[in-house]
């Protein structure tokens, strides 16, 4: 493809919008893997679950997917808390999280995907909303609302989580649980309860991220697999558990993927995330803003 | 463990002997479908044993088994395509005629190639990620599958996303039918994999691996070269997976990226050792044979999506309630119930429990298929009895006081079920299958009510260990 300035600018803008969405997809993993040290590889499967919930309610009742996702937050939070309880009793308490905990989440990923295939088949599903078609134009730069709205929602969610984690007692306790559980106990907070809350929040973000995903693109059950490499690449590149780092890394990956797709073809885009992941692990495992 | 004193050459001989018996039995029955099904099961045995060398012995989870498998398969495709296009690469001459004479390569050579390629991929991935915490390696392997798939999709020489056709010969000299030949090759590969796994287990390498699994920091501190050992494990494990994949294009006839990189290989490679038991070579073998056969039956009677669901659920259930796997359960049972020597009482319970697990798992599949189609009521009944049977068998192995009662109940329920099944479809297969099930059920009930078994389960578990 021929190189031109407006193509480049458009690709970068598209990449930044995509990056905002990636931040929403990754923030849950940043909390679970980065802060709590729970390697929840089933995270993308829960995002797809969120997409399908948005799809079902949108196609039957015609409610806006973003409203659905906000209504669904408590449900996903509860799901997350239940999963954490099972994980804690079965693996964390016995000190077996390394091998069997990973296999447990892999099994969850697999069960969710196959269940969705059995119920909905492998057809692509999509939602209807006013902002999916049109796009905003400033000069020669296009802002498709389909990308812009998810990006804004994602940034708002990100801001809310950052404020929660840095300003509230529970949020600070979540940060502390990874560093010093004994100190946390001395502050009269139960580490298990704090972790359960944090994991619940991590899964709750899937409700919103899932709705955003199905606004951006049609979804089928195995789409989640493409996001596994992406979310962990962003999480590691950003520095585990650092939310600002996650945001920067997400934007970076979005732009690089968008440029790759524009100038080399979209079929190469999935390889970008892995390349970045491997380079980061080899060169700077602590990530951009690592502790 | 029982029988752990057998020396390695003798073990190899025994394995070859077992392999021969399996092959001759196949010859005797001589149904092509059995070779097809058997090939798939054996392929899973190799994958499971290979996964276990890294996952079970070292404690490092590899989610990318499908990628290593597919690398082996695609190296075969690449060589096959190369053979077809020799005249394009070289003009008429010495090199071309030499190459023409060598190609097409026989499958054992392709297996070696596939093993080398996948081994190198394993080494590379391991080198970049194994210096970090274990989770990073697991994540990297997960992403590796996506990337290698992207590469293959974009590589037109091996067919890209359209896939590649491999036309296999109808027959092969000496052996006869080609599928029989492929089955024989996979059987040989299985023996190789099992011998490698057992040799590693009993060598210094294996002890090194075990120290990594138990406490890597302590191992490092006592001078175990952990990084080098882990790299050896990834390379060997990756190579074996590639070897399992190399004959695959010839088996399937048409290879496309989505099938070669399918999640089914990744999940089976993990689930089979986890369900069988990860500490030694028997675990993955047992797990792979059981789950492999179960899936063959399930994909014929129900659908391939449902059989993957069964594997996923079994994996989650086993890692939660039986983290030691089936072999581990049996070992724990023997340690507690028959510490000195194998008593008839313990052997009887063990046989009944093993039967309960196997019959229960197959019963779930048959019950599901009947419940979803022909006979909903009988199917649902069979499903319930099967789940009870599995629970009872688990309880028996765990020496739970409720187990004999539950076992008695589920075996009693099995008797009318068997009679209904034979009455509904009085075919020869059904008569043999359910007839023997009823006979075993009667024997099991008798055993459960015997005084010896009752005394085994009447003591609290702590006391059990103390008295024995």
Q: Give B-chain residues touching A90 at CB under 8 angstroms.
A: 319-320
**pLDDT tier at A254 (50, 70, 90 boundaries)?**
very high
Q: What is the mean pLDDT of residues B151-180?
A: 82
For residue B440 the two structure tokens come to 């075993």
Are B28 and B20 contacting, i.e. CB atoms less than 8 angstroms apart?
no
Residue A39 counted as domain residue: yes
Q: Is there a contact between A267 and B308 if contact means CB atoms under 8 Å apart?
A: no
Whether the per-residue pLDDT at B303 is higher than 60: the answer is: yes
More confident residue, A252 or B100: A252
Q: Of B255, B280, B305, which closes a domain?
A: B280
Whether the per-residue pLDDT at B468 is higher than 70: the answer is: no
Residue B317 counted as domain residue: no
> Looking at the structure, do residues B253 and B335 belong to the same domain, yes or no?
no
> Looking at the structure, do residues B159 and B244 belong to the same domain, yes or no?
yes
Instruction: Share the mean pLDDT of chain A.
Output: 87
Residue A82 counted as domain residue: yes
Looking at the complex, report in whole angstroms how far the Cα of residue A118 sits from the nearest Cα belonging to chain B.
7
Q: Cα dist. B404→A125, A177, B338, B385, B408 in Å? A: 50, 45, 17, 15, 6
Among A34-38, A245-249, A252-256, B458-462, name the one with the lowest average pLDDT.
B458-462
d(C-alpha B17, C-alpha B27), whole Å:
15
What pLDDT, in 10s, does the model give residues B280-301?
899 999 999 999 999 888 888 8
Q: Is there a contact between A229 and B146 if contact means CB atoms under 8 Å apart?
A: yes
Q: Give B-chain residues touching A115 at CB under 8 angstroms.
A: 309
**B431 close to A (CB below 8 A):** no
**pLDDT tier at B5 (50, 70, 90 boundaries)?**
low
d(C-alpha B388, C-alpha B411), whole Å:
9
d(C-alpha A37, C-alpha A88), whole Å:
12
Question: What pLDDT sits at residue A3?
Answer: 65
> Looking at the structure, do residues B261 and B354 belong to the same domain, yes or no?
no
Residue A281 counted as domain residue: no
Residue A275 counted as domain residue: no
- The per-residue DSSP string of chain A comes to ----HHHHHHHHHHHHHHHHHHHHHHHHHIIIIIIS----TTHHHHHHHHHHHHHHHHHHH---HHHHHHHHHHHHHHHHHHHHHHHIIIIITTT-IIIIIHHHHHHHHHHHHHHHHHHHTT--B----TTSS-EEEETTEEEEHHHHHHHHHHHHHHHHHHHHHHHSHHHHHHHHHHH-HHHHHHTT--HHHHHHHHHHHHHHHHHHHHHHHHHHS-B-GGGHHHHHHHHHHHHHHH-TT-HHHHHHHHHHHHHHHHHHHHHH-GGGHHHHHHHHHHHHHHH-TT-TT--
Residue B221 counted as domain residue: yes
Question: What pLDDT sits at residue B467?
Answer: 43
Q: Of B280, B301, B336, which closes a domain?
A: B280
Q: Which of B132, B138, B150 sits opposite A270 (nearest CB)?
A: B150
> Looking at the structure, do residues B266 and B393 belong to the same domain, yes or no?
no
Among A103-107, A111-115, A277-281, name the one with the lowest average pLDDT.
A277-281
Q: Is there a contact between B316 and A107 if contact means CB atoms under 8 Å apart?
A: yes
Q: What is the mean pLDDT of residues A62-74?
A: 91
Q: How many CB pairs under 8 A join A and B?
A: 123
Q: Give A-chain residues touching B308 at CB under 8 angstroms.
A: 110, 114
Residue B319 counted as domain residue: no
User: Exposed/middle/buried for B426, CB within 10 Å: 0-12, 13-18, 19+?
Assistant: exposed
Question: What pLDDT sits at residue A155?
Answer: 93
Among A72-86, B365-379, B409-423, name the one with the lowest average pLDDT.
B365-379
Q: Give B-chain residues touching A253 at CB under 8 angstroms.
A: none
Among A139-143, B404-408, B457-461, name the one with the lowest average pLDDT.
B457-461
Residue B400 counted as domain residue: yes
Looking at the complex, report in whole angstroms how far the Cα of residue A38 sits from the nearest Cα belonging to chain B.
10
Number of domains observed in the structure of chain A = 1
What pLDDT, in 10s, does the model give residues B209-267?
999 888 888 988 988 898 899 999 999 999 999 999 999 999 988 888 888 888 889 88
Residue of B nearest to A115 (CA): B309
Q: What is the mean pLDDT of residues B58-83?
A: 90
Whether the per-residue pLDDT at B56 is higher than 50: the answer is: yes
> Looking at the structure, do residues B266 and B331 belong to the same domain, yes or no?
no
- What is the ipTM, given to two decimal places? 0.86
d(C-alpha B378, C-alpha B291), whole Å:
24
What pLDDT, in 10s, does the model give residues B73-130?
999 999 888 887 777 777 667 777 777 777 778 888 999 999 999 999 999 888 877 8
Residue A45 counted as domain residue: yes
Q: What is the mean pLDDT of residues A100-125?
A: 89
Q: Give A-chain residues touching B132 at CB under 8 angstroms.
A: 281, 285
Q: What is the mean pLDDT of residues A223-240?
A: 85
Whether the per-residue pLDDT at B190 is higher than 90: the answer is: yes
**B150 close to A (CB below 8 A):** yes
More confident residue, B334 or A269: B334
Q: Which of A99, A232, A282 sits opposite B55 (nearest CB)?
A: A99
Q: Give B-chain residues touching A107 at CB under 8 angstroms.
A: 267, 271, 312-313, 315-316, 319
Q: What is the mean pLDDT of residues B200-206?
A: 90
Residue of B nearest to A87 (CA): B320
| Total residues belonging to chain A | 291
**B313 close to A (CB below 8 A):** yes
Q: Give B-chain residues touching A277 at CB under 8 angstroms.
A: 139-140, 143
Query: Which range of residues forms the domain containing residue B432?
Result: 324-467
Among A204-208, B14-18, B132-136, name the one with the lowest average pLDDT.
B132-136
What pLDDT, in 10s, does the model give residues A5-27?
888 888 899 999 999 999 999 99
Residue A268 counted as domain residue: no
Question: What pLDDT sits at residue A137?
Answer: 81
Please choose, from the candidates B455, B422, B454, B457, the residue with its C-alpha nearest in 3D space to the C-alpha of residue B437. B422
Number of domains observed in the structure of chain B = 2
Residue A113 counted as domain residue: yes
> Looking at the structure, do residues B249 and B339 belong to the same domain, yes or no?
no
> Looking at the structure, do residues B276 and B328 belong to the same domain, yes or no?
no
Are A29 and A224 contacting, i.e. CB atoms less than 8 angstroms apart?
no
**pLDDT tier at B459 (50, 70, 90 boundaries)?**
low
* Percent above pLDDT 70 for chain B: 96
Residue A258 counted as domain residue: no
Q: Is there a contact between A118 and B309 if contact means CB atoms under 8 Å apart?
A: yes
Whether the per-residue pLDDT at A213 is higher than 90: the answer is: yes
Backbone angles phi, psi at A139, to 5 degrees: 60, -130
pTM for the structure as a whole:
0.88
Query: Which range of residues forms the domain containing residue A68?
Result: 19-224
Q: Give B-chain residues touching A274 at CB under 8 angstroms.
A: 143-144, 146-147
Question: What pLDDT sits at residue A163?
Answer: 93
Whether the per-residue pLDDT at B460 is higher than 60: the answer is: no
**B267 close to A (CB below 8 A):** yes
Q: Which of A107, A226, A274 sits opposite B315 (nearest CB)?
A: A107
Q: Of B280, B315, B347, which closes a domain?
A: B280
Q: Which residues of A make CB contacts under 8 Å with B? A: 33, 39, 41, 86, 90-91, 94, 96, 98-100, 102-104, 106-108, 110-111, 113-115, 117-118, 222, 225-226, 228-229, 232-233, 236, 267-268, 270-271, 273-275, 277-278, 281-282, 285
Whether the per-residue pLDDT at B152 is higher than 80: the answer is: yes
Question: What pLDDT sits at residue A289?
Answer: 67
Give the list of residues 6+ apart from residue A30 with CB closer than 8 angstroms, or none: A235, A238, A240, A241, A242, A243, A246
């Amino acid at each position: 493809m021929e190189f031109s300035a407006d193509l480049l600018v458009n690709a970068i803008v598209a990449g930044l919008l995509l990056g905002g969405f990636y931040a929403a997809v990754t923030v849950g993993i940043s909390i679970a893997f980065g802060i709590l040290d729970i390697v929840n590889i089933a995270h993308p499967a829960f995002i797809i679950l969120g997409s399908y919930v948005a799809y079902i309610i949108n196609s039957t009742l015609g409610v806006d997917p973003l409203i659905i996702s906000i209504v669904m937050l408590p449900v996903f939070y509860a799901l997350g808390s239940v999963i954490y309880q099972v994980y804690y009793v079965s693996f964390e308490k016995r000190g077996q999280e390394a091998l069997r905990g990973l296999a447990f989440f892999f099994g969850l990923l697999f069960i969710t995907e196959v269940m969705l295939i059995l119920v909905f088949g492998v057809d692509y599903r999509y939602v209807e909303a006013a902002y999916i078609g049109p796009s905003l134009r400033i000069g020669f730069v296009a802002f498709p609302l389909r990308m812009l709205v998810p990006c804004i929602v994602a940034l708002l969610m990100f801001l809310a989580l950052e404020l929660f984690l840095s300003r509230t007692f529970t949020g600070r306790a979540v940060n502390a649980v990874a560093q010093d559980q004994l100190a946390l106990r001395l502050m009269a907070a139960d580490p298990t309860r704090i972790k359960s809350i944090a994991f619940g929040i991590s899964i709750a973000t899937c409700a919103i991220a899932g709705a955003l995903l199905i606004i951006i693109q049609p979804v089928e059950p195995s789409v989640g697999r493409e996001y596994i490499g992406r979310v962990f690449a962003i999480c590691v590149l950003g520095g585990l558990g650092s939310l600002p780092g996650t945001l920067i890394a997400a934007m970076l990956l979005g732009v690089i993927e968008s440029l790759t797709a524009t100038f080399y073809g979209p079929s190469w885009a999935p390889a970008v995330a892995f390349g970045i992941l491997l380079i980061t692990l080899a060169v700077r495992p602590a990530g951009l803003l690592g502790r | 463990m029982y029988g752990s004193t057998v020396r390695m050459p003798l073990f190899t001989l025994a394995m070859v002997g077992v392999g021969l018996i399996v092959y001759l039995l196949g010859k005797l029955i001589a149904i092509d479908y059995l070779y097809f099904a058997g090939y798939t099961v054996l392929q899973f045995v190799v994958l499971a044993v290979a996964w276990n060398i890294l996952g079970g012995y070292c404690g490092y989870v590899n989610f990318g088994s499908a990628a290593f498998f597919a690398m082996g398969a695609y190296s075969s495709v690449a060589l096959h395509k190369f053979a077809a296009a020799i005249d394009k690469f070289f003009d008429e001459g010495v090199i071309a005629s030499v190459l023409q004479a060598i190609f097409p390569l026989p499958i054992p050579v392709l297996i070696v190639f596939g093993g080398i390629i996948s081994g190198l991929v394993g080494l590379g991935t391991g080198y970049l990620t194994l210096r970090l915490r274990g989770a990073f390696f697991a994540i990297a392997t997960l992403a590796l599958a996506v990337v290698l798939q992207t590469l293959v999709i974009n590589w037109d020489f091996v067919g890209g996303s359209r896939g590649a056709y491999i036309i296999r010969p109808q027959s092969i000299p000496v052996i006869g039918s080609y599928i029989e030949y492929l089955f024989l090759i996979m059987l040989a590969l299985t023996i190789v994999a099992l011998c490698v796994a057992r040799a590693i287990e009993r060598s210094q390498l294996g002890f090194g691996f075990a120290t990594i699994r138990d406490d890597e920091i302590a191992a490092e501190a006592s001078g175990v070269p952990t990084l080098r050992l882990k790299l050896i494990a990834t390379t060997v494990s990756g190579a074996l997976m590639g070897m399992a994949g190399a004959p695959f294009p010839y088996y399937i006839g048409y290879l496309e990226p989505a099938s070669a990189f399918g999640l089914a290989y990744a999940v089976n490679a993990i689930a089979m050792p986890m369900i069988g038991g990860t500490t030694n070579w028997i675990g993955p073998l047992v797990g792979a044979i059981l789950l492999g056969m179960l899936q063959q039956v399930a994909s014929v009677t129900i659908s391939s999506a449902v059989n993957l669901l069964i594997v996923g659920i079994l994996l989650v259930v086993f890692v939660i309630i039986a983290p030691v796997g089936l072999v581990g359960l049996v070992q724990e049972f023997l340690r507690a119930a028959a510490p000195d020597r194998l008593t008839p009482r313990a052997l009887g319970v063990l046989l009944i429990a093993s039967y309960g697990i196997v019959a229960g798992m197959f019963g779930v599949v048959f019950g599901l298929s009947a419940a979803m189609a022909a006979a909903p009521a009988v199917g649902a009944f069979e499903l319930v009895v099967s789940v009870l049977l599995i629970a009872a068998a688990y309880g028996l192995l765990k020496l739970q006081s409720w187990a004999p009662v539950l076992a008695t109940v589920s075996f009693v329920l099995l008797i009318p079920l068997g009679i209904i099944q034979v009455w509904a479809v009085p075919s020869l297969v059904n008569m043999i299958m359910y007839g023997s099930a009823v006979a075993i059920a009667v024997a099991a009930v008798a055993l459960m009510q015997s005084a010896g078994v009752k005394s085994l389960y009447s003591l609290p578990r702590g006391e059990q260990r103390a008295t024995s």
